[in-house]
Chain A
Amino acid sequence: MSRKKITYTVPRMGYTYAAFESFFKILGYDVIIPEPTNTETIKEGVSNSPEYMCFPFKILLGQFERVLEKNPDRYFKVVSLESYGPCRFGYYSPLYYKILRDKGFTNFEIVNIEGIYPPLYKGIPRFFKKLIKLTGWHAPWTIVKAFVIAGWKVYALEQLEKKLYYLIPREKVTGSTEKIFNAAVERIRNAPNKVKSIKKILNEELEKMEKNPHVERDDLPKIGLVGEAYILMDYSNNLDIEKKLAYMGVDVDRSLRVTNWTLDRIIKVKSHKAHMLEVNKGYLDFFIGGDGQESIMNTILYKKAGYDGVIQAQPFGCLPETAAKEILTKVSEDYDIPVLSLAFDEQTGEAGFVTRLEAFVDMIKSRRQMKKEEKKESVTVEG
């Protein structure tokens, strides 16, 4: 029995695209990963989407369109991750479908994965129906295996990324860690589909990065990143903000990763919600969808963990993030932590962006210096 030849294309999400790719490869399909966000994909997306639509929508539309355009002889399943909530994120796939059809593409169908949402008697069957539509009919163990391998790859890639941003400000030869990291990503991407070998490669590569000559130091300024998930998680959307900060000599941490985002938002871990409501008490303790509440919670948590500043990355006009932005001004005053809001859209230029980052880092460094001097003074007065 021959299967209808189907090619999958998935949204690119930072380095974790390798994991999504292997998920569909294990199931026996072809996968084409869209190219990283660049001026051409943005141009394509912007010219076809509604003017005030979220920036991630425009990016993704542009990416999918390029994929469909380049491979007219293939039949695509376009995978779109969605939620049901007050945020516009949940209405992406109908618009993709309508806009792409309006443009004259016929060689695709949209597959959307959603969480289970009420009413439950409708939500649960719908969820499984969509899951089957996503994977096609396979033996359950193949699907489970694909999920496990993809999960491990995501985990491995995130560990490598964490290590990279930890080592960049500490390395002796600028750029040497990045070289090792790029090779490691390629190795994980092509790793055999066994948990054991992924683990082995991960450990080897982490060791290799660790061995790269660097100076251990713990006096670096620390900046946390909060904001909208897709802008934050994909390095090509946020103009590589993490790497840029790391090269400026900052210990940088990102609050949302694919692993914790999936656990908190798709599988909906109860403790996460309770914790969030507790932290956000008095600021925003009402569900508004998107990552607005997370942004506020993570800002407060970063302050409590001793960070010196927070950068909020958001697409221009993002509904939950704009609401969060206004509340973050109050949080910033109450908790005495500088917050820089950066809105990304198709017009974001790299030079202006770098200048703003540099100014923010300078400000944080001088704040640290001032605090140190204050401490010294108080010690001498007491002495």
Chain B
Amino acid sequence: MKIGIPRALYFYVYYPMWYGFFSSLGHEIRLSIPTNKEIINLGVSHSVDDICISVKVFHGHVKYLLNKKDLDFVFVPRIASEEKYKYTCPKLAALPDLMKSAFVNDADRILTATFYTRQGDKLIIDAFEEIGRRLGDTEERVKKAAKVGIKYQDLATKALRSGHTFLEVVKYIKNLEELIKKPVEKKRYTVALAGFPYDVYDTFTNGDVISKLEDSGVGIVTTDMLDPKVYRHYSKYMIKDLFWYQANAAAKGGMYYIDSSDIDGIISISSFNCGISSIYQKLLDLYSKEIGKPVMHIIVDEQTGDAGLATRIEAFIDLIRVKRGDGLVSQENNLHGTEDGVHVRSI
């Protein structure tokens, strides 16, 4: 069978697991194209107006896949909880219901299951069995495939921990072991990106922050590269843990990076009208005020212009250069010919 996976939201966290599962069952996986203007327009026209841009983009990806009539199913999982006693954002927990009410005519082509991750393999296997029943595969094969999926996810986690971004994981999905062995290039400056994986890695919506930074000679680390163990102690500063795993990762990971000496600055990326990021951004603000490390918030929406963003990133890079005592970007090192050496994406 042909299964479409939208390249948005939890794709940027659990794609290796789904890839391992579906491919070992022998189903063909079709990813939607990376977000572009067309996808955003599709999403905006099919969703309510005051929902966050990440979910709007997800609408666009699902619609794009539903428009392809040869796909049997479009995979829209419900990630209910990513840690014991933790939840996901209400909008994401209601995602299959949102899709079913947004695309009423194609409601039975939406393949869904409720996932509880990081709480033991049994709950994940249960969710995969629900999918297997829908796809008509035998229970034995489904169990085996689920285990393959979990193995893939573990490998991907290892790759992330060794300093590779999730975008590389997607590229190297067929041989993750090779990626783990691949060394990470160390650069003079390192900027940490704090935020939900789907905001950090969606290169079109966030104006390609990652390549803008990398092109100007700044290495990046993200909060999903961190093992939750290293930032557990920040819950004391936060008084009460946040109820969302990803927000916890962004907040505490951001604080961890604020404290670590080899990170020059933190850029937190979130989408317009994302309620949860407003909380962790405030926490990061207050914490950076105490420690004294630059934190910049980028809030993206469907109208984000590239030039304004480039200016802000240039200014941020200048700031961390000055803080290090290197001075501003000189014209000799300017590879891109723009005023401050930041690559401007052609539209």
Query: Which of B47, B50, B242, B272 has most chain A Cβ within 10 Å?
Result: B50
Stretch at the interface among B142-150, B179-187, B198-206, B278-286: B278-286
Docked complex: A282-327 residues within 8 A CB-CB of B: 283-290, 292, 316-320, 322-323, 325-327
Q: Are A327 and B277 in contact (CB under 8 A)?
A: no
Q: Are B275 and A317 in contact (CB under 8 A)?
A: yes
Q: How many residues of A contact B (CB 8 A)?
A: 45
Task: Answer whether residue B123 sits at the interface, using C-beta atoms and an 8 A cutoff.
Answer: no
Q: Are A98 and B90 in contact (CB under 8 A)?
A: no
Q: Are B90 and A316 in contact (CB under 8 A)?
A: no
CA distance A99 to B87 in the complex (A): 25
CB within 8 A of A290: which of B80, B90, B282? B90
Q: Are A90 and B243 in contact (CB under 8 A)?
A: yes
Instruction: Report the nearest A residue to B275, measured CB to CB.
Output: A319
Q: Are B273 and A317 in contact (CB under 8 A)?
A: yes
Q: Are B80 and A319 in contact (CB under 8 A)?
A: no
Q: Are B238 and A94 in contact (CB under 8 A)?
A: yes
How many pairs of residues, A versus B, come closer than 8 Å at their CB atoms? Answer: 116
CA distance A322 to B78 in the complex (A): 17
Stretch at the interface among B28-36, B94-102, B310-318: B94-102
Q: Are B94 and A50 in contact (CB under 8 A)?
A: no
Q: How far is the CB of B189 from chain A (nearest CB, A)?
A: 28
CA distance A379 to B51 in the complex (A): 46
CB within 8 A of B243: which of A84, A93, A102, A286? A84
Q: How far is the CB of B90 from chain A (nearest CB, A)?
A: 4
CB within 8 A of B87: which of A119, A289, A316? A289
Query: Which of B85, B97, B242, B283 has most chain A Cβ within 10 Å?
Result: B97
Query: Which of A86, A118, A320 has most chain B Cβ within 10 Å?
Result: A86
Q: Are B85 and A319 in contact (CB under 8 A)?
A: no
Instruction: Report the nearest B residue to A114, measured CB to CB.
Output: B240
Q: How far is the CB of B122 from chain A (nearest CB, A)?
A: 18
Task: Answer whether residue A95 sits at the interface, using C-beta atoms and an 8 A cutoff.
Answer: yes
Q: Are A95 and B243 in contact (CB under 8 A)?
A: no
CA distance A326 to B52 in the complex (A): 12
Task: Answer whether residue A191 sits at the interface, using C-beta atoms and an 8 A cutoff.
Answer: no
Task: Answer whether residue A81 sits at the interface, using C-beta atoms and an 8 A cutoff.
Answer: no
Docked complex: B76-131 residues within 8 A CB-CB of A: 78, 80, 85, 87-91, 93-94, 97-98, 100-102, 104, 114
Q: Which residues of B have CB within 8 Å of A327?
A: 94, 97-98, 101
Task: Check A284/B283 contact, CB under 8 A, given A119-B85, A322-B50.
Answer: no
